[in-house]
Amino acid sequence: MTAGPNEMILPTSQVSELLQSLVKALRAFQMYLPNNPMYQRASQNVRAGFTPIWPVLDDLVLQVAETDFIWEEQVVYHQLTRTESLAWALYKDGMRVLTLRKGVEEEEIIRFLEVVNRARFMQQDASDDLLTLLWEQEFNHITYRFVEGFGDEVVPEAMGAMGGDTPTSAAQVQQQVREETQPKQTGIVDLEEFDSTLYFLDEGEVAVVAEQLRQEYSRDARASALAAIYDIFETESERAIREEVIGILETLLPNLLNAGEFRAVASVMRDVRALVQKAPHLSTQLRDRLLAFEAKLSEPEIVRQLIVSLDGAAALAGDEDVTEVLRELHPAALGAIVTWLPTLNNAHVRELLEQAADRIAASSPGEVLKLLRDPNTASVKEIVEMCGRLKLQGAVPGLGETVRSKDPAIRLASVLALSEVASPGALTAMELAIDDDDRAVRLAAVRAMGARGIRNALKRIEPVILGKSDRDLDLTEKMAFFEAYGAIAGATAIPTLQSMLLTRGLLGYKAGPETRACAAVALGRIKTPEARAVLQKVADDKDLVVRQAVSRALRGQPA
């Protein structure tokens, strides 16, 4: 073909470069959101591609073929692979001419490419197609010419603002091609002599074609794109290329989380680990960056984003998908998980995250200890409760510090957790709580000590029993101290308790009814005949409170 008048002053290479920038932008718009740097860079490259065009032309008229774009009778774009071809994406829906006018680069070309992407991935039974989507945009700087059903008729509405141009029918184009074609040589097969429809295939062949089409339309384009990116990383050893690939993956992660693509997130994490092992000649810096990328998922902000996505999902992709992502979390994610757990509305999501938190805590006691000691941790109480639920021995030093917290709720949770752990170190750390200023904390501590018979606690319990404590205790708390005293001191406490229960003065019993009742309860915890004998002496006591306490104590004694 000869060069057209415009081609004499504008090299076809400039038009080819512009079309390549459109193709690259089309892929970028498919993978990234508008706020992504890769998306924005692709948009800038497209606009830059028009810079050498407009000083020469006022409009760029492209003929659309199956695999090509043709300008001034020159092929300026050629792509045989249809799934990757921009020309085919337009041609298959009937576009035959695309005209871009000066000013299109400001906004409309970006919207045009987004529309093409939407049309490429629509379902086969969708009510819209490329033509209807373009109509909705009402472009001012883009016009186009479609043919209806690949036939000879041009859709009038699809001609856009083509002015006085006379549309060329499919028949005219075919005639022009025949005129330019050399006479057929003898022995050369001409495909026009054969039926070009699918109807000459047998039923089995039609089924195979239909299945291949179904697979193509249902193919996960993102997985193919990621596989290509990984291949580039492995095969290209140039540092700049590998850094760009890592940048793409780092940007992709939050987008996948926002979209609820949890299985894809887990897959990316696994593939990144594999790249560290498989990529040849990988520098130490890039290796560290890949390894750091794996830890990026456990950063507090990313974990928060993950939890919000999970909680807001109308329907989870499946427990396996979510669990697969949660398995990738590092110990650094524990604090964020525990902090956000109380805010969740979805009970099922809360259960999955609690399991993940328990798994991390059980395998990383060092992280638990770090959170307990960090004054900026917002969820100390929840972490303390987790320590008790999991009976974490490694958390005892941290619980020994939280039991002295200024917050009574944290001190109480610490006492209960130490009681669950119940190791010698845990029980020693809990002794201090017997003298706590908060009643609930004291009760929890003394009951735990009494239940386990910790003799070291006697030095803090005996002053209350002997009336040497300045603290004013109610009956419930007083009984708890006496019960603990009886359980810990055992038979050695009988003389003291007997004196309180039986000793009389001139005007009656020296001890008041509440103290005598508490002494009876304490004797009930001493399972010996001597203790039972003392209780039987006052089984018919005139005071109702004492009599009820004795009756309860005797029921717990061996016969």
- Listed residues 114, 145, 171: the one ending a domain: 171
382 and 499, same domain (yes or no): no
Domain membership of residue 510 (yes or no) is yes
Burial class (CB in 10 A: 0-12, 13-18, 19+), 22: buried
Could you list the residue range(s) of the whole structural domain that residue 429 is in? 368-452
CATH number at residue 437: 1.25.10.10
Domain membership of residue 355 (yes or no) is yes
CATH number at residue 536: 1.25.10
348 and 441, same domain (yes or no): no
- Tell me which amino acid residue 311 is: D
pLDDT at 56 over 90: no
pLDDT digits (tens, 9 = 90+) for 72-129: 889 999 988 887 888 888 898 889 999 999 999 888 999 999 889 888 877 777 777 8
Length, in residues, of the chain? 559
Nearest alpha carbon to residue 328 among 250, 264, 258: 264
Domain membership of residue 214 (yes or no) is no
* 68, two tokens: 């090509």
- Listed residues 363, 395, 425: the one ending a domain: 363
pLDDT digits (tens, 9 = 90+) for 113-169: 988 988 887 777 777 788 888 888 888 899 989 886 544 444 444 444 333 344 444
Global pTM reads 0.52
12 and 155, same domain (yes or no): yes
228 and 161, same domain (yes or no): no
376 and 414, same domain (yes or no): yes
Domain membership of residue 501 (yes or no) is yes
19 and 154, same domain (yes or no): yes
For residue 187, the model assigns a pLDDT of: 56
Please answer whether residues 488 and 455 qualify as being in contact, where contact means their C-beta atoms are separated by less than 8 angstroms: yes
What's CA 497's distance to the chain center, in Å?
61
- Tell me which amino acid residue 101 is: R
Lowest average pLDDT, out of 32-36, 194-198, 441-445, goes to 194-198
In SS3 terms, 7-24 reads as HHHCCHHHHHHHHHHHHH
556 and 533, same domain (yes or no): yes
380 and 313, same domain (yes or no): no
14 and 60, same domain (yes or no): yes
